[in-house]
Structure 1
Amino acid sequence: MSGDRQTIEVSHLTKRYGTVTAVRDLTFTVAPGVVTGFLGPNGAGKTTTMRLLTGLASPTSGTATIGGQPYRQLRRPSSTVGAVFDASAFHPGHTARDHLRVYAAMGGYPDSRVSDLLELLGLTDAADRRTRGFSTGMRQRLNLATALLGDPRVLLLDEPSNGLDPEGMLWLRGFLRRLADEGRTVLISSHVLNEVQQLVDDVVVIRNGELVAAGPWSRLAGPPAVLVQSPDADRLTAVLRAGGPTGHPPQVEATDSGRLRVHGLDAPGIAELAAAHQLRVHELVTENASLEQLFLHLTIDKAAVT
């Protein structure tokens, strides 16, 4: 396995199909050593961008490179990039072993690589079963095995968690983490945001073909809020909005559960302020933003209906 660290770089990428602009002046970087989630509403341009990265489509303008080179200029693409876009791209009459042997022969890889990957992906017992009988989760594992035939430094995976049960999700999290820890560049697209949150370090969020946000998702989500349960909620709200202990008023909103959600002041600060004004507090809970909340905040109001 090569020790090269390959970075994905998309720069001012635009793709038009007639009068439709699928991707518009898109710029982002995907770094090695982390798992990056590629997120956006349906029709946002994720699939088009993946196709541009892998040479399945040509950009109208701009560039999409892997390790500084367009995909079509890579000497042996499958040893640099492993890509999975279709979870059902198997001949129904082929066994898992047959399928991997075909792709190994196409890439010039030995049969021993097939056996290694069947074991690595937990498919040894199913190796000689026909793929028509595979569950969605088993298909996902076979997809990953196919992508890894060339031991690539870059993985582009479309919806890799679809069809996985909780045990399968736990396995996938650990597997992708190990790949990233080896210095590989891992980009995954998904709609299952609660699962993606446990998979990814960074996110790239697009809407209508344009970049909305990119970076570590925890930083993009901002500092946590605090949920407050108080029988003196109205008075506490007034005290908080009067400026708080720093003179900068936190944001306070009422929730459907009757608690207050406070942004801009941590739990100890709220407790001290309430005590100073002899206000009762029954509960303080720090609430970290979820990836789903971040995604909706960035896309819901402006997402195109598809």
Structure 2
Amino acid sequence: MTEATMTGERLRIEARHLTKRFGDITAVDDLGFTVEPGRVTGFLGPNGSGKTTTMRMMIGHITPTSGSVTIGGKRYREFTDPSAAVGAVFDAASFHPDHSARDHLRVYAAMGGHPDERVDELLSLMDLTGAARRRTRGFSTGMRQRLNLATALLGDPRVLLLDEPSNGLDPAGTAWLRSFLRHLAGEGRTVLISSHVLGEIQQVADDVVVIRQGRLVTAAPLSELSGMEAAVLIRSPDAEALVQVFTRQPPAGPEPRVERIGPDQLRVWGPDAAHLADLAAAHHLRIHGLTTEEPDLERLFLDLTGSTR
């Protein structure tokens, strides 16, 4: 990355009352949220919820019916050098089958007015140097995804919009992408990533925006979402008595929140497993199972969107 870009402007994405109708179908409905610079934001929703339509409105591929979306206070078309401001990767991107990877990037570099040496820099960065002269018709899905990302990065943009960027990547490629996105956010860039791989979003995102049927469900830091904190699962024949103890005589530290999930099972948020075990022992109550349950974005997503497994 160039020094100018690393110290460049921080650009916030702001959607206000964003609406898009296709005939009688409302794909996006009065949607409003912000995406902050220096952070990775996961954009989540069931298939058909309006994520890709929203992202395409950000870069002018689709015109809103009403409302607006701005990047750094500007509409995309107002940027004099848009590829230096915003880079976008969409799952449906395609390449001329007879072009090599280098040819493809050189064409887009010329169109954007970017130096030719940027092409080899990105081929190396995306581990595509060995395939630089190969025709894209023979590329795997993962190689196409990396070439998509290289294309988006030609202008060294301050904002990245990534629609399902990990599709087709092997585990090593997925881990590399996760690290790379964190690096970009660390430079102050704005990263919005749509993905159905919720485990990946949970590992990489700072914030999430969740939509359903084109409307906002929630937008918040991932760590602040209810349900995105560790819980303790307890199995006990004295479950009812434990509920009374935990709620009436809470242990020192965080106040517990208790959910009854079965005749002899509880889920408790707040105190850790050791505190809860000590409290049960102090009241001579039996515990037959005690497990720390890590936060689960998939379960939270299903609850928020009303989806089913």
Q: TM-score, normalised by structure 2?
A: 0.90
- Is contact 1:87-1:143 (8 Å) kept? no
User: Which residue, out of 194, 201, 216, partners 2:221?
Assistant: 216
Deviations 1:1-37 (A, max 9, x none): 3311111111111112222211111110001111111
Equivalent residue, structure 2, for 1:235:
238
Equivalent residue, structure 2, for 1:145:
150
Partners of 1:154 and 1:249 in 2: how far apart?
40
Equivalent residue, structure 1, for 2:110:
105
Partners of 2:238 and 2:297 in 1: how far apart?
32
Partners of 1:227 and 1:63 in 2: how far apart?
45
**Structural mapping, 1:251-270, within 5 Å:** 251-254=258-261, 259-263=265-269, 265-270=271-276
**Structural mapping, 1:44-59, within 5 Å:** 44-59=49-64
Unaligned regions of 5+ residues in structure 2, if any? none
Partners of 1:80 and 1:249 in 2: how far apart?
46
Equivalent residue, structure 2, for 1:293:
299
User: Which residue, out of 209, 213, 231, partners 1:225?
Assistant: 231
- Is contact 1:40-1:205 (8 Å) kept? yes
**Is the partner of 2:160 in helix, strand or coil?**
strand
Partners of 1:249 and 1:204 in 2: how far apart?
27
Residue 122 of structure 1, CA deviation: 1.0
Partners of 1:262 and 1:73 in 2: how far apart?
51
Partners of 1:81 and 1:104 in 2: how far apart?
14
- Is contact 1:241-1:249 (8 Å) kept? no
Tell me, yes or no, if structure 1 residue 193 matches structure 2 residue 193.
no
CA RMSD of aligned residues (A): 2.1
- Is contact 2:39-2:191 (8 Å) kept? yes
Residue 185 of structure 1, CA deviation: 0.4
Residue 237 of structure 1, CA deviation: 2.9
Deviations 1:137-191 (A, max 9, x none): 1111111100000010000011001111111111111111111111100001011
Partners of 1:226 and 1:71 in 2: how far apart?
47
- Is contact 2:83-2:155 (8 Å) kept? yes
1:255 to 1:114, Cα distance in 2 relative to 1, 3 A: farther
Equivalent residue, structure 2, for 1:69:
74
Partners of 2:270 and 2:184 in 1: how far apart?
37
Residue 207 of structure 1, CA deviation: 0.4
Letter aligned with residue 234 of structure 1: P
Q: TM-score, normalised by structure 1?
A: 0.91
Partners of 1:23 and 1:88 in 2: how far apart?
22
Partners of 1:250 and 1:219 in 2: how far apart?
15
Residue 264 of structure 1, CA deviation: 5.2
